[in-house]
Amino acid sequence: MVRRDAGSENVIIRDRQVALRSFHHDNMSGENSFTVGRSTANQPIEMVWSFLKRSFTQLWRNIFKNMIDLNLFNNADNLHIQCIRFCFLPVIQMHLDRFRQTWNVHRIRSEPNREVPTGIPNVMFYQPLRYGARDCSCHLACNIAVLDDIADSYTEANPQYGCSREFRDLLELVNGQNLHESDLPASPNDANVLFIEMVSLLDSL
């Protein structure tokens, strides 16, 4: 059973969980395999969000706010939004991947008067018995093809480069080359420079 709070980000998790558990016939299968509770009771994930905000989210908020204040980025202009996605999403994803890797191998220390799991997240997840926890994994009564069908039914593929097909076609037309052949930004500064160049070029068309 999966327990989450009522946040909208958990809708897809709920639908996938119910779909996966619909193959089973125990008391917690199907609709009973997902339950909603108060976010204040989800201490481990709330701790992750708090750490993520301090080390990651606030940085990007400040970057985009600064661009708006300097009149570089108009968040009401669809062309600017498409450009910001194309330029910055690869860098944001790279930073998220780095954060995930760092978080999953760091050691969570025990805290007085707080009932939170302690240990290394990757080890706790794959070897729960080492921490006196119960292994809640179970065999799925389906194969990979069924999982792919469920993913197709309950999720939408993210648009390539984070932008619309029309915008990608426009970039390829302007650049005269396939986007796969283009070098993507590797840092916030690289993304910022590319964004300014792209907006200037597209506005001049």
Q: What is the pLDDT along the chain (205 residues), one digit of tens a residue?
A: 888 777 777 888 898 899 889 888 899 999 999 988 776 656 667 777 788 888 788 889 999 999 999 999 999 999 999 999 999 999 999 999 998 998 899 888 776 766 666 889 899 889 988 888 888 887 777 888 988 888 888 787 788 888 888 998 888 888 777 877 778 899 999 999 999 999 998 888 7
Q: Long-range contacts: 101-108, Cβ < 8 Å, 24+?
A: 103/48, 103/51
Contact 73, 80 (CB under 8 A): yes
Give the model's pLDDT for residue 3: 82
Give the model's pLDDT for residue 40: 60
Give the model's pLDDT for residue 110: 76
- Residue 162 Rama label (left phi>0; alpha psi -120 to 50; beta): left
Give the model's pLDDT for residue 50: 82
Both tokens assigned to 146: 């069924």
Contact 21, 29 (CB under 8 A): yes
